[in-house]
Structure 1
Amino acid sequence: MTQAAARADTPQRLKLTATERRASIMLALLFASRMLGLFLLTPVFAVAAQAIPGGNDATRVGLALGAYGLTQAFMQIPLGMASDRYGRRLVIVAGMVLFVVGGIVCALAENVNWIIAGRTLQGLGAVSAAITAWVADATRPEVRTRAMAMVGASIGLSFAASLVLSPMLVGAFGLSGLFWVISLLGFVCLLIAAFAVPTVPRQDEDIVQARARDVLGHLDLLRLNFGVFVLHGVLMALFIVMPGLLARLGGYDTGSLWKVYLPVIGLSFVAMVPAVFYTETRRVHKRALEASVLGMALVLALMPGFSDSFAALFTLLVLFFVAFNILEALQPSLVSRVAPPAYKGLALGFYNTAQSLGVFAGGVLGGVLAARGSVPAVFWVAAALTALWLLVALGMRPVPDAGQSRQSH
């Protein structure tokens, strides 16, 4: 092929079709709305829960934050398989019904135990694997990485929005009102899944051929699964102690913590966007992953020494979210690149399961450490886990281009 022909072919090959664009945007919006509903509790619950019975028990607070992750971890693969058989739309709508009901249980809860029960019920609606598989169904291999990155970025955006909106909502409507908003978001997701996402053909042949042992025997996929486990575990553990620290050092109440979170997220996204753009255009995904994990480990290791300084903690929190947002956008794209086509959907199911387990483990671990009065220990354990993740990530092989796959394990 001549250079002129190659140039003529490239734009068409890389451009999303109208259906791909609409499906990707709607699915990213669906994922973002659902994750916002899950994340809204994280930035304020450790402080807001002190107003209800059982809310001064850090262990139960951590369990309430992470409970949905445990049931999600158990349900991701079964519901992903159900979506293969009965269709993505039906499974996602049913999952969002469970999410809404769980949110209502939390809104009506009179103590922390009922919130744990409601969050557990929310986790039964584990539809992340079905959503990501729907993205794979709706896009060609040449543009699938871009669509997956769009969904991955929506998670970071959702968490960013939750940091700002959560304190405002609790300040205006209280903890119960926050859960009513979460339930409303679940209903919005239900409507998006039912009516807004275009119908696309599913790749049934690839899904039937998938075997769990293929995914579990693929070392690079295991490395990515471990990475998302640590990423969300560290995040949940951090926010067992961070709201209280920021409130004490800065003199903020629950409803005004957004004044801290808004500039943190704004500054971190300003720094993150060029890094993600550079990674995608230069195709340096592995180096970007290693650099971001290293940066996160260093930031977490510095936090114990500066946990009495608001300015220092604020700066470190900005740096933490620069790394977090890069990794949140980068890792789903890497899974899509690394997984061979024959079991891409199942690989995404295991990836989402690892993420959910990280949420549960981080909430519980952070709660147990905080209950023993050891805030620095939360940071040190998080730093150690992230350093271990770096060692694991260094063993990854060079990442193939979009549309390519590797059969070697």
Structure 2
Amino acid sequence: MNDYKMAPEELRATWGLGLVFSLRMLGMFMVLPVLTTYGMALAGATKPLIGLAIGIYGLTQAIFQIPFGLLSDRVGRKPLIVGGLLIFAIGSIIAALSDSIWGIILGRALQGSGAIAAAVMALLSDLTREQNRTKAMAFIGVSFGITFAIAMVLGPIITHAFGLNALFWGIAVLALTGIVLTLTLIPNPSGHVLNRESGMVKGSFSKVLRNSRLVKLNIGILCLHTLLMATFLALPVAMENAGYMPADHWKVYLVTMLVSFIAVVPFIIIAEKKRKMKQVFLTCVALLLIAESILFVSGQHLWVMFAGVQLFFVAFNIMEAILPSLISKEAPAGYKGTAMGVYSTSQFIGVAIGGSLGGWLFGFNGTNAVFLGSVVLCVLWLMLSTTMKQPPYVSSLRIELPPLALKNVMLERDLKVLDGVNDVIIVPEERSAYIKIDSDKTSRAKLEQLISSYDTQPA
């Protein structure tokens, strides 16, 4: 019988990898709220180049995200994670030593090249048992949200106190700390687990890319991070123009992030428990549209601007929570890992677009052009979102099959007709069944009990 309590090694792996991932993301995001205001002092800096510096890490991350994930199957998870963090640290050091915008751009491009997210999730899959893997991955997701909030607050504080170069030195130290943690704290896996729920599968990308429901969600995360990058190009300058000095910006981010985290909870309950995912999704896109419209008309009115920032963060954090859940629900059985890989790549393409396009709009006609462009994007996204269908409320499972059950040709058919089972695929070479279930109607324990009965029956 499965033990659903995490073993000490699983806890160590989960906390360790969550910390390593968070240290990298902390370094990535701390630059976001400060580069526009402090970066203009760099030699050769222009508004479009600042936008390029903010967004270029997304471009290189998008390029290397999937190849690094597939490469980790061959060279090993830990070597790839250490190598990625080393590239990230080198990029940070180049940026720290640079007094020109081009050095920052090069450093940020290298930071994005160290794409370790897929390898981290694959190693987590190697180090946790099937019944505890969802909890471990949820922990990584929560740590991402907390890290983003901390970065929004710490970035302005450190940069104001010690300067932009010191911020990049600090980011390099975080990356090197991540390497030490990877080598010392995180257990070594006994082998690679072939798990399509957390890893990408060669030859399966076309199936994911042809799925119209997944395509709309990938466009959604692209739009969300385009808005994030573009907004943070304009927002620090807009607040400064309204008389709110950069040294105090962290206070706005702290308050708005705390409020938004509290606001996320009821929306998640409505989306998941009340099964109103599409309604919450549309509400969030509408809130983003309202937030960008408020920022566009706020002018010199700081409190109006703060209201726009608050609405933006509420909608953003809800979307960050529900979009991965939607991908999980919509992905065909056995293709969740591949779908998440494409989703992550779409996210980083959005980062690249938001930085470069936002920088161009910023240089063209200041902060208002950026906010207006964001309004237009929100309108287009809202129009697309109205065509979405309510998702199936299902969870993804991977169950290892005992030898006789694996040989039983009737197993897949019998699983598919069970009440609460949405989709099934059996992969003999992985000795696994990938099943999507409605948790209100059936459970992992029931399926495992059924499958074990087949281990005593002839095929």
TM-score by length of 2: 0.79
Structure 2 vs 1, CA of residues 273 and 23 (structure 1 numbering), >3 Å: closer, same or farther? farther
Residue 361 of structure 1 is matched in structure 2 by 353
Distance, in Å, in 1 between the alignment partners of 2:135 and 2:384 is 25
- Measure the CA separation in 2 of the matches of 1:140 and 1:402: 17
1:123 aligns with 2:101: no
Moved more, 87-96 or 261-270: 261-270
For residue 402 of structure 1, the aligned residue among 395, 404, 412 is: 395
Distance of 2:179 and 2:58 partners within structure 1: 20
| Equivalent runs, 1:1-400 vs 2, <5 Å | 18-55=8-45, 57-138=46-127, 144-200=133-189, 201-204=191-194, 206=196, 208=201, 210-252=203-245, 254-394=246-386, 395-400=388-393
**Worse-matched range after superposition: 284-293 or 168-177:** 284-293
**In structure 2, what is the Cα distance between the partners aligned to 1:316 and 1:16?**
42
Work out the number of aligned pairs and report it.
396
Distance 2:216 2:55 in 1: 22
Secondary structure of the residue aligned to 1:403 is strand
Superposed displacement of residue 29, structure 1 = 2.3
d(CA) in 2 for partners of 1:171, 1:205: 45
* Cα deviation, residue 385, structure 1: 2.1
Asked if the contact 2:13–2:127 (Cα under 8 Å) also holds between the matched residues in 1, the reply is yes
* TM-aligned CA distance change 1:372 to 1:209, over 3 Å: closer
How many angstroms does 1:133 deviate by? 3.5
Provide the residue aligned with 2:435 in structure 1.
none
Higher helix share: 1
Question: What is the CA–CA distance in structure 1 between the aligned matches of 2:282 and 2:15, rounded to whole Å?
Answer: 29
The whole-number CA distance in structure 2 between the counterparts of 1:221 and 1:277 is 23
Return closer, same or farther for 1:115/1:25 CA change in 2, 3 Å cut-off: same
Give the AA of the match of 2:325: S
Deviations 1:269-312 (A, max 9, x none): 22223433554444544433232222212222232122331001
- More relative contact order in 1 or in 2 (CA 8 Å, sep 6+)? 1
CA distance in 1: counterparts of 2:380 and 2:371, whole angstroms: 14
- The Cα shift of 1:136 comes to 4.5
Question: Using a 3 Å threshold, how does the CA distance of structure 1 residues 398 and 16 change in structure 2: closer, same or farther?
Answer: farther
Equivalent position amino acid for 1:238 in 2? T
Q: What's the C-alpha RMSD, in Å, of the aligned pairs?
A: 2.6
Q: Secondary structure at the match of 1:269?
A: helix
Q: Give SS of 2:396's match.
A: coil
Provide closer, same or farther for how the CA distance between residues 141 and 204 of structure 1 changes in structure 2, counting only shifts above 3 A.
closer
Segment drifting more, 169-178 vs 195-204: 195-204
- Residue 351 (structure 1) shift: 1.4
AA of the residue aligned to 1:349: G
CA positional deviation for 1:199 = 4.1
Which letter does structure 2 place at the counterpart of 1:399? P
Alignment partners' CA distance in 1, 2:61 and 2:11: 28
Cα distance between partner residues in 1 of 2:355 and 2:292: 17
Distance 1:296 1:136, change over 3 A: farther
The 1:138–1:392 alpha-carbon spacing in structure 2 relative to 1, beyond 3 Å, is farther
1:220–1:103 Cα change, 3 Å:
same
Assess if the C-alpha contact under 8 Å between 1:102 and 1:120 holds in 2.
yes
Q: How far does residue 217 in structure 1 lie from its aligned partner after superposition? A: 1.4
Identity within the alignment, %: 38
Mapped partners of 2:124, 2:362: distance in 1: 39
1:47-85 alpha-carbon deviations (Å, 9 max, x no partner): 001222123x10000001111111111101110100122
Distance 1:280 1:198 in 2: 34
**Which residue identity does 2:37 align to in structure 1?**
V
> Which piece of structure 1 moves more, 174-183 or 378-387?
378-387
- After superposition, what is the alpha-carbon deviation per residue over 1:145-183, rounded to whole angstroms, capped at 9, x for unaligned? 544443233222222111211111111211100000111
Q: Which has the higher strand share?
A: 2
Q: Distance in 1 between matches of 2:14 and 2:333?
A: 19
- Residues 196/132 of structure 1: CA separation in 2 closer, same or farther (3 Å cut): same
- Show structure 2 runs of 5+ residues with no match: 398-421, 426-459
Structure 1: stretches of 5+ with no match in the other structure: 1-8
Structure 1 residues 147 and 282 mapped into 2: Cα distance closer, same or farther (>3 Å)? farther
Cα distance in 1 for partners of 2:127, 2:370 equals: 41
* Structure with max Cα Rg: 2
Q: Retained in 2: the 8 A contact 1:301–1:380?
A: yes
